[in-house]
Amino acid sequence: MIVLNILFLTIAFPERIEDRNLYTDLMQQFKEKGHNVYVATSRERKYGKDTVLSVESGINVLRIKTGNLQKVNFVEKGISTLLIENQFTRAIKKYIAGIKLDLIIYSTPPITFERVIKYLKNKDNARTYLLLKDIFPQNAVDLCIIRENSLMHKYFRYKEKCLYNISDFIGCMSEANVKYILENNNFINSNKVEVCPNSIKQINILKNNSNVNIREEYGISADATVFIYGGNLGKPQGIDFLIKVLESNKKKKDIFFLIIGNGTEYDRLKDSITNLNSTNIKLYSAIPKAKFDNLMKELQMWERKYPELVTPDSPTQRIGGAPLEYFEKVIHKIPMLSLENAYSFEELAEWEERAKRILPDENWTYVAELKIDGLSISLTYEKSILVKGATRGDGTTGEDVTQNIKTIKVKELQPN
């Protein structure tokens, strides 16, 4: 057997192996086949950790300190994406330049790996394989994030073409993606584009008998297997294939399709679903907050029952958003807590019972008032002068927005 030195570049390789995704499974598969596996992945600045090379479950993982790429505003993400090429190249030269690579695999996002790939390909004459998971910038156009033919669109389109050109092979998630890539990039040789579907090791699926109300709310049979699509509904997603799947399964009572997303192809998909007149398909452009809260409670129930399945990025693991890096951090003297929701009398009664168990000797009175969603701010005054304004952040640490607060005309800098 030929043993290969394989390098995988990505921005989505979990810090803990138990937080597995399709990339960890793929790299583990290469390792189990006897190959030497290296991974270069981003470690976002918000985590406060430096670049480091270590062995994780038998895989050499180079975690490279970069800007923030996930769950940040579009401007910060764009700047971090532009910087990532140089950051990856410097780190690879420092930590693994002595390794002669045979195969380089890389995924999108980001679309800006071209110069890194070019350096490695020239150094080792390695074969290159692009896992095309995100067709950018077209998906940003579909979601109206950037304007087609704008300066930003032209730049990222140029980077996209460069990445396609330097790749020996391009693996797409579906035939529809292959067709889209070839039709919209006539410079690409069709022989190097193929279907490389998402895959992951199977795990036991837990039967959900806990919350019948959620299934009733969505009109889902208690015995039906639910298939969920969530995300962009644009041209690269191959909506024709999705419509064919829905059409071929429209009469099956033991299957239910829940589709949540938006994009340029939403209306066409909606019209197709209407024409199918099927009872096992639901399409939503978004989920109302009350339904989202119910799904959160369902997730919390599962995490209490199976704590080994809780991941650090679970939405149950934070009160609010993490503090943004470009604001000065403020430690709250008193933690800013979040309110719980209740959408039925039964939920309110359960809350009362819990509270009375905690404080059994208290006399209880109740005050009811409207809850208006908005931004919580902590204001600090010294000698009647506003000196600090901070957002809630994660409840313990927020962002200093004092100068922003001073621009609000209705906020007194000196309280009465």
CATH number assigned to the domain with residue range 5-195, chosen from the 4 options 3.60.10.10, 3.30.460.80, 3.40.50.2000, 1.20.1250.30: 3.40.50.2000
To the nearest whole percent, how much of the chain has pLDDT over 70? 79
Nearest Cα to 299, choosing from 285, 288, 313? 313
pLDDT value at position 370?
74
Q: How many CA atoms lie within 13 A of 253 on its CB side?
A: 3
User: Where residue 411 falls among pLDDT bands split at 50, 70, 90?
Assistant: very low
pLDDT value at position 202?
58
pLDDT value at position 223?
79
Determine the CATH number of domain 212-286.
Answer: 3.40.50.2000
pLDDT value at position 310?
63
Q: What is the pLDDT of residues 168-205, one digit of tens each?
A: 999 998 888 899 899 999 999 999 999 988 776 655 55
Q: CA 81 to CA 74: how far, in whole Å?
A: 10
Q: What is the pLDDT of residues 353-375, one digit of tens each?
A: 877 887 877 887 888 777 666 67
Of residues 70 and 93, more confidence is placed in 93
To the nearest whole percent, how much of the chain has pLDDT over 90? 22
Q: What is the pLDDT of residues 234-262, one digit of tens each?
A: 776 778 888 888 999 988 888 888 888 88
Roughly how many angstroms between the first and final C-alpha of the chain, as a whole number? 81
Q: Does pLDDT of 103 surpass 80?
A: yes
pLDDT value at position 321?
44
Of residues 415 and 6, more confidence is placed in 6
- Lowest model confidence (mean pLDDT) among 62-66, 87-91, 167-171, 298-302: 298-302
| Domain extent listing, the chain | 5-195, 212-286, 329-405
- Lowest model confidence (mean pLDDT) among 115-129, 158-172, 392-406: 392-406
Q: What is the pLDDT of residues 312-336, one digit of tens each?
A: 445 565 444 444 444 677 888 888 8
Q: How would you write 90-131 as a 3-class SS string? A: HHHHHHCCCCCCCEEEEEECCCCCHHHHHHHHHHHCCEEEEE
Q: CA 175 to CA 196: how far, in whole Å?
A: 9
Q: What is the pLDDT of residues 261-280, one digit of tens each?
A: 887 788 889 999 999 988 88
pLDDT value at position 323?
42
Of residues 149 and 105, more confidence is placed in 105
**DSSP letters for 146-209:** S-TTSHHHHHHHHHHHHHHHH-SEEEESSHHHHHHHHHH-TTS-GGGEEE--------PPPP--
Q: What is the pLDDT of residues 42-65, one digit of tens each?
A: 988 888 888 999 988 888 999 999
Domains 5-195 and 212-286 are alike in CATH topology: yes
- Lowest model confidence (mean pLDDT) among 47-56, 109-118, 134-143, 250-259: 134-143
User: Across all residues in the chain, what is the average pLDDT?
Assistant: 80
Highest mean pLDDT among 86-90, 173-177, 210-214: 86-90
Return the number of other C-beta atoms located less than 10 Å from residue 271's C-beta: 11
User: Where residue 120 falls among pLDDT bands split at 50, 70, 90?
Assistant: very high
Q: CA 402 to CA 378: how far, in whole Å?
A: 10
**pTM score over 0.85:** no
Q: CA 61 to CA 55: how far, in whole Å?
A: 6
